[in-house]
Amino acid sequence: MFSAEEYADVEEFYAQERPTMLHTFPSLAEKLGLGELMVKEETSRQGLPAFKVLGVKYAVERLRREGRLPPDAVVACATDGNHGRAVARVAARLGMEAHIFLPAHASERRIESIRGEGAHVHLAVGNYDEAVRQAARESQAHGWVLLSDTSWPGYEEIPRWVMAGYTHILAEASRQWIEPPDVVFVQAGVGGLACGAGSWFAQQFGKWRPFLALCQAANAACIVERARRGVAVRLEGGLETVMDCLSAGEVSYAAWPVIERLYDAYVGVEEEEAVEAAGVLRENGIPAGYSGACGFAALWATMRQENMAGLRAAAGMGKGTRAMVIVTEAQA
C-alpha cells in the first residue's frame, strides 16, 4: 500500500519513539503446541492505553507539512473510543478544538476519557457507522478537518496516512524479534490496523510473508462476512460486543482491497473467547482489554478447538511455528 519512501518517512518521524514491549511466552507457546509466541504489547503508547495515536500523529504530521492544518483548525472524527481519544489528545497538544462522535451505545467510561482530553463529545443516533456519517456531515458543514481512520470513496488520503502510522508497530517489532513470525493474527474493526500490518509484512517479505489471519468480534464481523460472502457488506444494528473498539459495520474502503489480497484467513471471535483470552494474558502480566485480546483469542481458539483444524493445517501451525499477536489495548 505504501512506497519504500513512505515506510522510511514513518520510521524517521518515529525515530525518537519509546518502543513498547515484544514479549515471548515459552510456556504458553508449549501449551498451545507452538514453537514460539510473540506478543507485541500496545497497552501503553505515548501515555495512552492503545496503539491508535501512532496513526493520528503521523496523519497530523503529513497535514501540517502540507499547510493543511493551521493552528486555528478545528478537527473531528468518529470513534469507538481509542481513535477519538488519540485525536482529542493530539488536538489539545496543538491547541486545536476537537469534536468527537461516538456511537449511541458508547460507555460512560469511553465518553469521559475523551472529554477528559478536552474534546467536545457528540453521541450519534445510531451505531459506529452512523457516527462516521455524522462526523463527515458536520465536518463538511462547519469546515472542520476530518481525521478519520476509516475511509470511503473520495475520502482516502487521511485514513491512508493513519494506516501508514500503524506500520511503525511492526517496524519496531522487527527490531525486537530474533526471527520473524510465521503466522500473525491481527484484530480488526474497520481494518486499518490489519491493512497497515499486512502491507508492512508484504513490503518486507514479499511472497515469504507470514500467514496472515484477520480476526474480529463475531458480533460485528463486517470484514469476516465481506470475505465469506464475496460482496460488499453493511452490518446494521448496535453491533454491541465486549470488544467494543472493534464494533463496525463496514470495512474501510481503502483497506479492503489490500486486506483481500494479503490475508489468508478470517476468524470470528466469540465474546467468551475474548474474555478467556484476556484472562490468560492478564495472568501472564499483560493487562489486556477485550478488544486488545482479540488477536490472542483467535490464536488461542485456533490452537485449542477441534473445529479449527482446517485453519491450523492451512497455516501449517505446529511445534515449529512462531506465532505473533498484537495486544492493542489495555484493560480499563
Q: By CB under 6 A, name the binding residues for ligand PLP.
A: 50, 52, 80, 82-83, 149, 187-194, 245-246, 291-292, 328-329
CB of 252 to ligand PLP, least distance (A): 7
Looking at beta carbons only, is 127 or 321 nearer to ligand PLP?
Answer: 127
Looking at beta carbons only, is 117 or 329 nearer to ligand PLP?
Answer: 329
CB of 223 to ligand PLP, least distance (A): 8
Contact 214/246 with Cβ under 8 angstroms? no
CB of 155 to ligand PLP, least distance (A): 15
CB of 247 to ligand PLP, least distance (A): 9
CB of 320 to ligand PLP, least distance (A): 29
Q: Tell me the β-bridge partners of 23.
A: 39
Looking at beta carbons only, is 83 or 322 nearer to ligand PLP?
Answer: 83
Looking at beta carbons only, is 180 or 295 nearer to ligand PLP?
Answer: 295
**Of the candidates 270, 254, 259, 261, which has an alpha carbon nearest to the alpha carbon of residue 304?**
270
107 Ramachandran zone, left/alpha/beta (phi>0; psi -120 to 50)? beta
| Amino acid (1-letter code) at residue 273 | E
Looking at beta carbons only, is 180 or 191 nearer to ligand PLP?
Answer: 191
Looking at beta carbons only, is 41 or 149 nearer to ligand PLP?
Answer: 149
Residues in CB range of 325: below 8 A, 6 or more apart:
37, 38, 39, 40, 184, 185, 186, 295, 296, 298, 299
Beta strand pairing call for 36-41 and 120-123 = unpaired
Rounded Cα gap, residues 291 and 244, in angstroms: 6
Looking at beta carbons only, is 224 or 246 nearer to ligand PLP?
Answer: 246
- CA distances from residue 162 to 17, 25, 59, 150 in whole angstroms, order as listed: 16, 30, 5, 9
Q: Tell me the β-bridge partners of 38.
A: 24, 324
Looking at beta carbons only, is 180 or 192 nearer to ligand PLP?
Answer: 192
CB of 214 to ligand PLP, least distance (A): 9
CB of 131 to ligand PLP, least distance (A): 12
Distance between start and end Cα atoms, the chain: 33
Q: Tell me the β-bridge partners of 213.
A: 185, 265
CB of 82 to ligand PLP, least distance (A): 4
Helices (H) then strands (E): counts for the chain: 13, 10
Residues in CB range of 70: below 8 A, 6 or more apart:
none
